[in-house]
Chain A
Amino acid sequence: MSPDAIAVQFLNGLAGASTLFLIAVGLSLIFGVTRIVNFAHGSFYMLGIYVAYSLVARFGGTVLGFWASLLVAALAVAVIGVVVELLLLRRIYHAPELFQLLATFAVVLIVRDATLALWGPEDLLGPRAPGLKGSVEILGRQFPQYDLALIFVGPAVLGLLWLVLTRTRFGILIRAATQDREMVGALGVNQAWLFTAVFALGAFLAAFGGALQAPREPANLGLDLVAIGEAFVVVVVGGMGSIPGAFLAAFIIAEIKAMCFAIGQTTIAGVSFSFSKLTLVVEFLVMAAVLIWRPWGLLGRPAAATRNPAEIEAPISPADARTRRFGFAVLALLIVLPAFAQAFPYTLVLSIDILIAVLFAASLHFIMGPGGMHSFGHAAYFGLGAYGAGLLVKQAGWSMETALVGAPLIAAAGALVFGWFCVRLSGVYLAMLTLAFAQIVWSVAFQWDDFTGGSNGIVGVWPAPWLSEKWAYYYLTLACAVAGVLLLWRVLLAPFGYAMRAGRDSPLRADAIGIDVFRVQWKAFMLAGLVCGVAGGLFAFSKGSISPEAIGVGRSIDGLIMVLLGGVQTLAGPVVGAGLFTWLSDLIAREFAYWRAALGLTILVLVLAFPLGVAGSVKRLFAREAA
Chain B
Amino acid sequence: MLKATDLHTYYGQAHILAGVSVEVRAGEVVVLLGRNGAGKSTTMKSIMGLVRPRAGTVEFQGRRIEQLATHRIARMGLGYVPEERRIFTELTVLENLEVGRQAPRPGAPTWDFEKIGRLFPNLREMPHRPGGRMSGGEQQMLTIARTLMGNPACVLLDEPSEGVAPVIVDQMAEAIRGLKSAGVAILLSEQNLHFAMEVADRAYIIEKGAIRFSGTMAALAANAEVQAQYLAV
- Asked whether any CB of chain A lies closer than 8 Å to the CB of B174, the reply is no
With contacts A188-B102, A188-B150, A312-B12 known, is A183 near B82, CB below 8 A?
yes
- Asked whether any CB of chain B lies closer than 8 Å to the CB of A96, the reply is no
Name the residue of chain A whose CB is nearest to the CB of B98.
A172
| Binary A-proximity of B78-95 (CB < 8 A = 1, otherwise 0) | 001010001011110001
Name the residue of chain B whose CB is nearest to the CB of A190.
B71
Q: Name the interface residues of A164-201: CB closer than 8 Å to any CB of B.
A: 169, 172-173, 175-176, 178-180, 182-191
Question: Contact: A182 with B50, CB < 8 Å?
Answer: yes
| Binary B-proximity of A184-225 (CB < 8 A = 1, otherwise 0) | 111111110000000000000000000000000000000000
B83 to chain A, nearest CB (A): 12
A184, B75: Cα distance in complex, Å? 12
Question: Contact: A188 with B50, CB < 8 Å?
Answer: no
Question: Contact: B71 with A189, CB < 8 Å?
Answer: yes
Question: Contact: B86 with A183, CB < 8 Å?
Answer: yes
* Chain B residues, Cβ within 8 Å of A184: 99
Question: Contact: A179 with B88, CB < 8 Å?
Answer: yes
A interface SS class:
helix
* Chain A residues, Cβ within 8 Å of B69: 185, 190
Question: Contact: A187 with B91, CB < 8 Å?
Answer: no
| Binary B-proximity of A331-351 (CB < 8 A = 1, otherwise 0) | 000000000000000000000
Name the residue of chain B whose CB is nearest to the CB of A191.
B71
Question: Contact: A175 with B70, CB < 8 Å?
Answer: no
Q: Name the interface residues of B79-132: CB closer than 8 Å to any CB of A.
A: 80, 82, 86, 88-91, 95-96, 98-102
* Chain B residues, Cβ within 8 Å of A176: 88, 91, 95-96, 99
Partner of B50, one of A169, A173, A186: A186
* Chain B residues, Cβ within 8 Å of A191: 71
Name the residue of chain B whose CB is nearest to the CB of A178.
B90
A190 to chain B, nearest CB (A): 5
Question: Contact: B82 with A169, CB < 8 Å?
Answer: no
A190, B69: Cα distance in complex, Å? 9
With contacts A172-B99, A176-B99 known, is A185 near B71, CB below 8 A?
yes
A179, B130: Cα distance in complex, Å? 13
With contacts A186-B74, A187-B99, A189-B99 known, is A180 near B88, CB below 8 A?
yes
B147 to chain A, nearest CB (A): 7
- Asked whether any CB of chain A lies closer than 8 Å to the CB of B146, the reply is yes
B202 to chain A, nearest CB (A): 25
Question: Contact: B95 with A172, CB < 8 Å?
Answer: yes
B58 to chain A, nearest CB (A): 15
A182, B74: Cα distance in complex, Å? 12
Partner of A188, one of B75, B82, B90: B75
Name the residue of chain A whose CB is nearest to the CB of B13.
A312
* Chain A residues, Cβ within 8 Å of B71: 185-191
* Chain A residues, Cβ within 8 Å of B22: none
A517, B204: Cα distance in complex, Å? 46
* Chain B residues, Cβ within 8 Å of A183: 82, 86, 88
Total cross-chain contacts (CB, 8 A)? 59
Interface centre among B82, B88, B98 (most CB of A within 10 A): B88
A188, B80: Cα distance in complex, Å? 10
Question: Contact: A187 with B90, CB < 8 Å?
Answer: no
Question: Contact: A186 with B80, CB < 8 Å?
Answer: yes
B15 to chain A, nearest CB (A): 16
With contacts A175-B90, A183-B82 known, is A169 near B74, CB below 8 A?
no
A192 to chain B, nearest CB (A): 8
- Asked whether any CB of chain A lies closer than 8 Å to the CB of B179, the reply is no
- Asked whether any CB of chain A lies closer than 8 Å to the CB of B153, the reply is no
B23 to chain A, nearest CB (A): 21
B100 to chain A, nearest CB (A): 5
Question: Contact: B99 with A179, CB < 8 Å?
Answer: no
A180, B147: Cα distance in complex, Å? 15
Q: Name the interface residues of B140-183: CB closer than 8 Å to any CB of A.
A: 146-147, 150
Question: Contact: A187 with B12, CB < 8 Å?
Answer: no
- Asked whether any CB of chain A lies closer than 8 Å to the CB of B17, the reply is no
Question: Contact: A172 with B86, CB < 8 Å?
Answer: no
Question: Contact: A169 with B98, CB < 8 Å?
Answer: yes
* Chain B residues, Cβ within 8 Å of A169: 98, 101
A3, B1: Cα distance in complex, Å? 76
* Chain B residues, Cβ within 8 Å of A179: 88-91
- Asked whether any CB of chain A lies closer than 8 Å to the CB of B20, the reply is no
* Chain A residues, Cβ within 8 Å of B89: 179
A332, B163: Cα distance in complex, Å? 67
A141, B74: Cα distance in complex, Å? 62
Q: Name the interface residues of A304-319: CB closer than 8 Å to any CB of B.
A: 312
* Chain B residues, Cβ within 8 Å of A186: 48, 50, 70-71, 74, 80, 82
Question: Contact: B75 with A180, CB < 8 Å?
Answer: no
Name the residue of chain B whose CB is nearest to the CB of A168.
B98
* Chain B residues, Cβ within 8 Å of A172: 91, 95, 98-99
Interface centre among B12, B80, B99 (most CB of A within 10 A): B99
A149, B86: Cα distance in complex, Å? 43
Question: Contact: A188 with B74, CB < 8 Å?
Answer: yes
A-B contact pairs, 28 of them (CB 8 A): A172-B91, A172-B98, A173-B99, A175-B88, A175-B90, A175-B91, A175-B95, A176-B96, A176-B99, A178-B90, A179-B88, A179-B89, A179-B91, A180-B88, A185-B69, A186-B70, A186-B71, A187-B74, A187-B99, A187-B100, A187-B146, A187-B147, A188-B71, A188-B75, A188-B100, A189-B71, A189-B99, A190-B69
Query: Residues on B close to A: CB < 8 A?
Result: 12, 48, 50, 69-71, 74-75, 80, 82, 86, 88-91, 95-96, 98-102, 146-147, 150
Query: Residues on A close to B: CB < 8 A?
Result: 169, 172-173, 175-176, 178-180, 182-191, 312
A185-B71, A188-B71 given. 10 additional CB < 8 A pairs? A169-B98, A172-B95, A176-B88, A176-B95, A182-B70, A183-B82, A185-B74, A186-B82, A188-B74, A189-B71
Q: Which 5 A-B pairs have the closest CB atoms?
A: A188-B74, A183-B86, A176-B99, A176-B88, A187-B100
